[in-house]
Amino acid sequence: MNDKANILIVDDEEVVRLSHLRSLEGTDCNTRAAEDGRQALTIMEQHPADVVLLDLRMPDLDGMDVLKTIKQRWPDSEVVVITGYPSLETAKQAVQLGAFNYLAKPLGPADVLKAANDAVNQKRWGIRSDGGQTNESSVH
């Protein structure tokens, strides 16, 4: 499977979007960014992402609503929730809605790369409960 992974970064803070984009520069993936939940869903309709790096607290349409919609409409997309306001309650809710991972800001470049890579591997190869294995990383 040589296709490049499609990664969507969703955060209302431009500095965070640019930081995540820079962290993924030079990797074998296509990246797009959205400044809010509505824009994220519009991008997903046109170019479904393999992995979504999703902020929770955004104006208008919050991250939990976006997560719910993505998992309903694009169930094969992996979503990594990245929030500056982590709590046990939102972590549980995100996982129940199908988030692959839940991380607290701030994240360094290596953390963003690892989160994206782990999610791409999950999407591409799947970690099965029957003892199946994952392949080597897909985002280099």
Q: Which of 23-37, 65-79, 99-113, 125-139 has the lowest mean pLDDT?
A: 125-139
Looking at the structure of the chain, the number of domains it has is 1
Answer yes or no: is 132 within a domain.
no
What sign results for the dihedral spanned by CA atoms 1, 18, 47, 96? positive
How many whole angstroms separate alpha carbon 10 and alpha carbon 83?
11
Answer yes or no: is 111 within a domain.
yes
> Which CATH number characterizes residue 101's domain?
3.40.50.2300
Residue 21 burial class via C-beta count within 10 angstroms: exposed 0-12, middle 13-18, buried 19 and up: middle
Condensed to tens digits (0 to 9), the pLDDT of residues 5-47 reads: 999 999 999 999 999 999 998 888 999 999 999 999 999 999 9
Answer yes or no: is 53 within a domain.
yes
Q: What is the pLDDT of residue 26?
A: 85
User: What residue numbers bound the domain in which 46 lies?
Assistant: 5-125
Answer yes or no: is 138 within a domain.
no
pLDDT higher than 70, residue 91: yes
